[in-house]
């Protein structure tokens, strides 16, 4: 019985109709559950949506917990390991804000808003039912050394650029954090324009920094795209 349940709740090949139906129901539930978060006000309909969807999430969490040994393949230890796996944590965090006594009885508005914000994590439950995410996760796993090197390069770029601009133009940057913020948005070529250099030397540093930023940003994009295409070709 548990093995049959596992074959239904876990994403499998398109040949398993029950699994496909279950995935469709869960994805629809996830979409419906986040609809109330698009509104500031709440009403009876939104409350019932929350009650029904969270009940489905609880059932899904329970089913995955009792079949954890089939997924993790570590006998009885699986039931203790599963709750601390990344996807199980996302599942749990998406449930807790709706069933917590704080959600109805605690009057600290800031905490109330925090609980409401945590419900946004329900959107991440989509990852469980996305085959594309499995491919992307595989790409990141295989290319982790290259991506780690690029991430290190990006951090070094931000720190060096921040140090240079902070010393070249201290009048425009009150704190070193402001310089780091400027270097980060320069790296991504966003350029909000709220903090910017005004001297000639500062602008030259900005141009050079932006040019290197484009190169650094392009590196992981190329690695991920190439890895994704390779994984798709392998699947086909």
Confidence of residue 102 (pLDDT cuts 50, 70, 90): very low
Instruction: Name residue, tokens 């009403």.
Output: 43
pTM of the model: 0.56
Mean pLDDT of all residues in 171-189: 84
Confidence of residue 113 (pLDDT cuts 50, 70, 90): very low
Mean pLDDT of all residues in 3-17: 72
- Max intra-chain CA distance, the chain: 73
User: Residue 15's pLDDT is what?
Assistant: 61
Indicate if the pLDDT at residue 105 is higher than 80.
Answer: no
Mean pLDDT of all residues in 75-101: 79
Confidence of residue 169 (pLDDT cuts 50, 70, 90): confident
Average per-residue pLDDT in the chain? 77
Mean pLDDT of all residues in 90-113: 58
CB half-sphere exposure, 107, CA atoms < 13 A: 0
List C-alpha distances in Å: 106 to 40, 101, 120, 121, 201: 19, 7, 20, 21, 54
User: For residue 149, what are its two tokens?
Assistant: 């090197």
Q: How far apart are CA 26 and CA 53, in angstroms?
A: 9
Indicate if the pLDDT at residue 111 is higher than 50.
Answer: no
Every domain of the chain and the residues it spans: 2-129, 142-235
Residues sharing a CB contact under 8 Å with residue 158, sequence separation 6 or more, in sequence order: 180, 183, 184, 187
Fold of 142-235: Helix Hairpins (1.10.287)
Judged by average pLDDT, the poorest of 15-19, 112-116, 154-158, 190-194 is 112-116
User: Residue 76's pLDDT is what?
Assistant: 82
User: CATH for 2-129?
Assistant: 1.20.120.350
Domain 2-129 shares a fold with domain 142-235: no
> pLDDT over 90 for what percent of the chain?
0
Mean pLDDT of all residues in 55-59: 88
């Amino acid at each position: 019985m548990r093995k049959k349940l596992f074959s239904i709740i876990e994403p499998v090949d398109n040949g398993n109709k029950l699994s496909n139906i279950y995935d469709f129901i869960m994805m629809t539930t996830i979409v419906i559950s986040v609809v109330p978060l698009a509104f500031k006000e709440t009403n009876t309909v939104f409350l019932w949506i929350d009650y029904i969807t969270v009940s489905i999430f609880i059932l899904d969490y329970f089913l995955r917990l009792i079949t954890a040994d089939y997924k993790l393949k570590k006998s009885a230890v699986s039931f203790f390991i599963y709750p601390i796996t990344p996807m199980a944590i996302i599942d749990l965090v998406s449930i807790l804000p709706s069933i917590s006594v704080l959600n109805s009885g605690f009057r600290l508005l800031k905490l109330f808003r925090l609980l409401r914000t945590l419900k946004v994590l329900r959107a991440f439950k989509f990852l469980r039912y996305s085959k594309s995410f499995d491919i992307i996760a595989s790409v990141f796993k295989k290319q982790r050394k290259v991506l780690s090197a690029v991430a290190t390069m990006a951090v070094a770029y931000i720190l060096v650029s921040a140090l240079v601009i902070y010393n070249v133009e201290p009048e425009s940057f009150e704190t070193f954090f402001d310089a780091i913020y400027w270097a980060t948005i320069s790296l991504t070529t966003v350029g909000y324009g709220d903090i910017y250099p005004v001297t000639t030397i500062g602008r030259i540093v900005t141009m050079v920094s932006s040019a290197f930023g484009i190169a650094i940003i392009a590196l992981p994009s190329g690695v991920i795209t190439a890895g994704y295409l390779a994984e798709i070709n392998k699947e086909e």
